[in-house]
Structure 1
Amino acid sequence: MSCCAFTPSRCHIDLAALRRNFARLGEPGSIMPVVKSDAYGHGLLPVARALDGAGARRFAVGTVCEGVALREAGLGQTIVPLMGAISREDWQAAAAHDLTPLLTDFEDIEKAAACCPADRPFRVALKCETGMNRLGFSAEELPAALESLRRFPRLAPVLALSHLACADMPGETAYTQAQAERFASMCAVLREAFPDIARSLGNSAGALGLPESRYEACRPGLALYGGNPFAGTAWETRGTGLEWVMSVSSPVLQVRQLKAGQSVSYGRIFTAPQAMTVAVVAAGYATGFARALSNRIDLLINGRRVPQVGRVCMSMLMADVSSLPDVRTGDTAWILGGPAAPGQRPVSAQEMADELGTIPYEILCLMGSTNPRVYS
């Protein structure tokens, strides 16, 4: 069977940069790297294997299915599915593959107990609601949750975790501190019943800016892939030194000459103010380059930034390369990252996200899921 790819673009994943970011974030045993959503578009198994080689002892995934994939790939770390088990099949798979699923409500306790393995305790994690108001037991529910757990001695809570809602926002320090205090109080109650239970609160922002939130298992996500959670804030320097792991390239399909007054692409939203040279690049909104970026962002070609012009199409976009007389068909255009000439800088996921009024997580997930990945 032939391999059919709908785009010639490529998503380049630098696993050495990933490992350097992992090392930057602390001692391997204190980190639970987040590899949910196909490792934020970077590829679940290659990323997990690279981190395994770097000393990772735990992984946080999104779903039980992702956890099973890691087990079937031979990875033996503690694996925590952050969405918990959704169906009976999930609970059974979590138990069979020695995953550590979240218990987020009283029903979860009953469902987990019904799937306990016969030959060993079923290790589980308790989700504490401290201010995110998404999943988990509140402080008021905790005594009843502990009473329910006592009915099922084969359930073994080994981890308590919560999630910070705005640790990346300097203006919300009081809220973050209140969450941290609430979590500490809940963990004190849990440790009376389960003295060895590990704690996990800090995310990327917590790891870099709130040391007291690290506990036994800090859970960095964005920072692992090179994003600074404090970008654009007064705390930006707390996240310096990280390297973007993903870059995206696409070939130049054709180089065209426009006369003054000629338009390019759909809707005639760009008209040449004078004679100019335009490169047609094989990337578009089908491969994660948002149509809303039309006329709003640069690309990197031959090491230099050039402006994208005209409406972004499904699988093509255009760039003004009048300043680059040597651009030819077949040259490489970099949508994200890429080698920049001295004095130039590549386009980052953060820059693209800022232009769109979104977050770099979204850019990475989309680019990584729609462009074939290559690893180095």
Structure 2
Amino acid sequence: MENKNTWVEINKAALSHNLKQFRKIIGPQVRLLIPVKANAYGHGLVEVAKIVLPNGADWLGVNSLEEAEFLCSNKIFKPILILGYVKLTELKRLKFFKNIRLAVYNEATVKKLGQLKSKVKIHLKLETGATRQGVALKEILVFVKLIKKYKNIELEGIYTHFANVEDTKNHHFAFSQLKKFNQAVELLEKNGIKIPLKHAACSAAAILYKKTHFNLVRPGISVYGLWSSYETKVAAGKKHKSIKLELVLSWKSIIAQIKNVKQGSAVGYGRTEKVSRDSRIAVIPVGYWDGFDRGLSSVGNVLIKGKRTKVIGRICMNMFMVDVTDIKNVKTEDEVVLIGRQGREEITADEIAEKLKTINYEVVTRINPLIKRKII
């Protein structure tokens, strides 16, 4: 059920450029896993996968078995790591896919995998401070010994995830997490257990600290040209003066109708906003169903003919209205930019996130996956 009145453009050259930036930072020997979970952070699961793999990515990371299977159904056979949870009753489906790996962090999953007749590769998640998934350091040796009881389970990797390396200038806690991770690896190796792949680095860690690279990194948001935080951007500029990320995603629509309204007329549901003069109002066929947040009511902006114009009234489910009184020669089906550049003006996910008091991750990942992603 594609809505042809709105579309997302994915800039292939920008995405390839960002990959090269990370490859330059990590070097040729470290594997590059690109997270494409959450519809590739809103950029398009398959579309992004088919760009990054020929341009230097070695692995893909997803949240669910369904995402992994969908990639495989689109003839993607490079290694795929499922970072999220897979129900015990669904684990048997792994036997059909030799390129899918599973993150593991509880005994029930290990025991269920051990009942499968097929071989399965897993990555052990270590809890070091994010207080999410993961096995505690004090439990790691017992947990790995349980894994080793099952001959069909190959412990291919061990990893962790930083709690706040990106949104602070003080990285002491991240360093404490890294210390726990190194302690776990050392403990296992002292007991004769060597795990081939070790990974911890997200975008911020990969950019800022080489000691987090190990032999695989998982840069997410910044591959898509977005900085994980202002603090990371500033620190990165000092450490890698040549690093430059390019925005990958633009979101566009068209004008569905233009109407003249009298001064004092209320616009939209709840009659929350009235025009202060005789005005021209354009109706844009995009709404909160599409991912254009209702919180942008009366405060959001779009670009039309290279000029900024403001959202008038409440965002509706499938449409919203903007004031085009001061824009000349506007007509039905003119292009509207919700995110991206038009002429000399630009609206970014960061700008929208600031208005919504959220993060750029949420702005792009909430763009409805049914909207067409076009590669440009």
TM-score (norm 1): 0.90
Secondary structure in 2 aligned to 1:166? coil
Moved over 6 A (4+): none
C-alpha distance 280-122 of structure 1, shift in aligned 2 (>3 A): closer
Residue 301 of structure 1 corresponds to 304
Q: In structure 1, what is the Cα distance between the partners aligned to 2:355 and 2:10?
A: 23
Distance 2:235 2:277 in 1: 42
Task: Please say if residues 8 and 250 of structure 1, whose CA atoms lie closer than 8 Å, have aligned partners that are also in contact.
Answer: yes
User: Which deviates further from its counterpart, 202-211 or 179-188?
Assistant: 202-211
Q: Output aligned runs, 1:321-332, within 5 Å.
A: 321-332=324-335
Kept after mapping to 2: 8 A contact 1:18/1:224 = yes
Moved more, 279-288 or 362-371: 362-371
Contact 2:3 2:370 in 1 (8 A): no
Alignment of 1:229-248 (within 5 A): 229-231=228-230, 233=231, 235-236=233-234, 238=236, 241-248=244-251
Q: What amino acid is aligned across from residue 196 of structure 2 in structure 1?
A: I
Cα distance in 2 for partners of 1:196, 1:105 equals 18
Give the fraction of aligned pairs with identical amino acids, expressed as a percent. Answer: 25
Superimposed CA distance per residue, residues 1-34 of structure 1 (whole angstroms, 9 cap, x where no aligned partner) = xxx5446111222222222111111247521100
**1:363-374 correspondence to structure 2 within 5 Å:** 363-374=363-374
* Contact 1:68–1:94 under 8 Å retained in 2: no
Structure 1 residues 125-134 or 331-340, which shifts more? 331-340
Does the 8 A contact of 2:289 with 2:368 survive in 1? Answer: no
Distance across 2 between alignment mates of 1:352 and 1:25: 26
Equivalent residue number for residue 173 of structure 1: 171
Look up the match of 1:291. Answer: 294
Instruction: Render the CA deviation track for 1:49-77: whole Å, top value 9, x for unaligned.
Output: 11111132111111122222223333232
Larger strand percent: 2
Deviations 1:318-354 (A, max 9, x none): 212222112111101111113232xx2x211121111
Q: Cα–Cα, structure 1 residues 96 and 221, in superposed 2: closer, same or farther, change >3 Å?
A: same
Q: CA RMSD in A?
A: 2.0
Aligned to 1:335: 338
1:101-112 matches, cutoff 5 A:
101-112=102-113
Task: Name the SS of the counterpart of 1:25 in structure 2.
Answer: helix
Write the distance in 2 (CA, Å) between the matches of 1:259 and 1:88. Answer: 61
Q: Report the more deviating stretch, 256-265 or 291-300.
A: 256-265
CA distance in 2, matches of 1:8, 1:282: 6
Aligned to 1:136: 134
* 5+ long unaligned stretches in structure 2: 238-242
C-alpha change, 1:214 and 1:300, in structure 2 (3 Å) is same
Query: Is the aligned partner of 1:24 residue 2:15?
Result: no
Give 1:210-229 correspondences, 5 Å limit: 210-229=209-228
- Separation (CA, whole Å) in 2 of partners of 1:34 and 1:168: 17
> What is aligned with 1:123?
121
- In structure 2, the CA distance between the partners of 1:6 and 1:57, relative to structure 1 (3 Å rule), is closer
Moved more, 4-13 or 141-150: 4-13
User: Secondary structure, in 3 states, of the residue corresponding to 1:170?
Assistant: coil
Match for residue 74 of structure 1? Answer: 75
1:140 counterpart SS class: helix
Q: Contact between 2:38 and 2:63, CA under 8 Å: does it hold in 1?
A: yes
**Conservation of the 8 A alpha-carbon contact between 2:20 and 2:56:** no
Per the alignment, in what secondary structure is the counterpart of residue 369 of structure 1? coil
The whole-number CA distance in structure 1 between the counterparts of 2:185 and 2:306 is: 52
Q: 2:128, 2:232 → 1: CA distance?
A: 25
5+ residue gaps, structure 1: none
